[in-house]
Chain A
Amino acid sequence: MSAVELEHIVKTYQDGGVTAVKDFSLKVNEGELFGLIGPDGAGKTTIFRILTTLILADSGRASVNGYDVVEDYNEIRKRVGYMPGRFSLYQDLTVAENLHFFATVFKTTIEENYDMIRDIYEQIEPFKDRRAGKLSGGMKQKLALCCALIHKPEVLFLDEPTTGVDAVSRKEFWQMLDQLKKHGITMLVSTPYMDEAVRCDRIALMQQGSILAMDSPEQLVRSFSGKLYQAKSEQKHRLLKDLRKHPQVVDTYSFGEYLHLRTSNDSKEVLEALKQELLVQGHEQLVMEECAPTIEDCFIRLLNQE
């Protein structure tokens, strides 16, 4: 049995005027850390809201641990944890009060499931009497995670937990998820940051309500066909413009310190000829070499094929 299953889910808003999710199918295995990777408008939040039984799909079927989102919505609500994208705790209750409230709602106590949240809660415990509204962004996030976990859910839904968070806190958050994995909890997490995709067991790359590709991050990168090159020179922006104009260059874009590019055929001769031309055009300190593609390269290629 899959922990999460979506079959041909369609969801539209505004009387069918806006399609949020198109014929969406997905299976998440028990204990898996599964990532929905995509920008705003990809349909990630809609998927979460359908699975947490907050909205109904127009058509299609969805289930969580075998429970149907329509028939058995009450069972699902008992068994899942949900951390929405927007901070949704009670701002004028303290840290401890919020946690106690969520435990009570799920007919449990903080003590009963403390082992689940210990590592995370200890970090915010010094502020347990502070009102949630007065917490920093990073601490709010930790509290929200504790509240989503306090009833020991079988499946945890995390909608963009790292959006707007700095690169250090983002790394810390993923370390917390790694810890949670050891408890055997199934997690479905969404993010617009492509570099976070490698932290997942499997991912779905999403755009405008559809899945562009779905696999393990390693396998997705491996299936990137053809060669990818990285290039840089003293004048990076001019290099980008020159490469874009070149007939042998299929695709080129900035990628951190380098530009990434593909050529019309992967032969050494084409690459050498290209290098020579760029040197003639006055590019200094030119570097151009083969490089390994990342998830972001895969995503860009899929978007360009659309």
Chain B
Amino acid sequence: MEREKVIYARNLEKRFGDFIAVNKISFEVESGEIFGFLGANGAGKTTAMRMLSGLSIPSSGEALVAGFDVYKFPEKIKQNIGYMSQKFSLYEDLTVRENIHFFSGIYGLSKQEIERRGKEMIEKLGLEKEADKLVRDLPLGWKQKLAFSVAILHEPKLVFLDEPTSGVDPVTRRQFWDLIYDASDKGITVFITTHYMDEAEYCDRISIMVDGVIEAMDSPFKLKQHFGVTSMDEVFQILARQAKRSDN
């Protein structure tokens, strides 16, 4: 059985005046897949992600996200995805519990659901002792794990993670990836950017953008085979070194 396509993009393009930030990219991402979206600084990753999450209207091309057209139903897309950025996406001066309740409310969960899921999440993350502490006072790694859990609390079909592990210690970084695998097992599609090349190896499939174009897209294994190298870092170095652009 063919798996559901959660992202479908055909010749998707974004121009800012004369500048072509994203140059007719085409790709598909299937349900439950962990898709690594890599590229040099300024390659167009952020612009592409903004179009796919309904925040920016494309200049041309087609895209369906979670089954909705990016031109016609950007609001529907926002309801059906989760998003977490490298910059922290929770309220620093609310407690852990308050943040969970706040976002549950935003996503329109019922009172009982909010209680139940909040309790579940705090237990799963082992934050029982910290539940009533301000988020500001948590170590970065814990904040990021919490932010991710909050981003998928409404069980979206797809979650966008923009450099979620930047500056996180190596043990917590791996715990974060455990959460990603759990989400993927539940059928949530994970669309992730990272500068850690070891994390590129953890993805099911990788695309590498250079100067607005997707230069390569495949499983880490096949990419390494294709370029005759032994690590994703080498693949990235080969492709991204050709970049003419370095703007961001």
Contacts and interface: CB of A to CB of B under 8 A. Distances in A.
A171 B41 contact: no
A170 B237 CA distance: 11
Nearest to A140: B248
For the residues of A in contact with B, the DSSP-based class is mixed
A304 B169 CA distance: 12
B247 A192 contact: no
A253 B181 CA distance: 13
18 contacts: A39-B141, A39-B170, A39-B172, A40-B140, A136-B247, A137-B41, A139-B246, A167-B236, A168-B237, A169-B40, A207-B169, A254-B202, A255-B198, A256-B197, A256-B231, A257-B224, A296-B170, A299-B170
Contacts, number: 96
Contacts of B177: 254
Interface string A32-47: 0000001111000000
Contact of B240 (A39, A41, A168): A168
Interface in A49-101: none
A194 interface: yes
A167 B169 CA distance: 18
Given A39-B172, A194-B170, A254-B174, A237 B236 contact: no
Contact of A237 (B39, B181, B237): B181
Contacts of A167: 195, 197, 233, 236-237, 240
B41 A169 contact: yes
Interface in A136-160: 136-139
Nearest to B242: A168
A166 interface: yes
Interface stretch (B13-21, B69-77, B160-168): B160-168
Interface in B227-248: 230-233, 236-237, 240-241, 243, 245-248
B86 interface: yes
Given A137-B248, A256-B232, A168 B40 contact: yes
A179 interface: no
Contact of A304 (B140, B168, B171, B201): B171
B139 A41 contact: yes
Interface residues of B, number: 41
Contact of A164 (B166, B172, B181): B166
B104 to A, nearest CB: 27
Interface in A164-209: 164-171, 192-194, 207-208
Interface in A199-241: 207-208, 237
Nearest to B180: A237
A40 B170 contact: no
Contacts of B195: 164-167, 170
B44 interface: no
B174 A39 contact: no
Q: Which of B141, B169, B171, B237 has the most CB of A within 10 A?
A: B169
B220 interface: yes
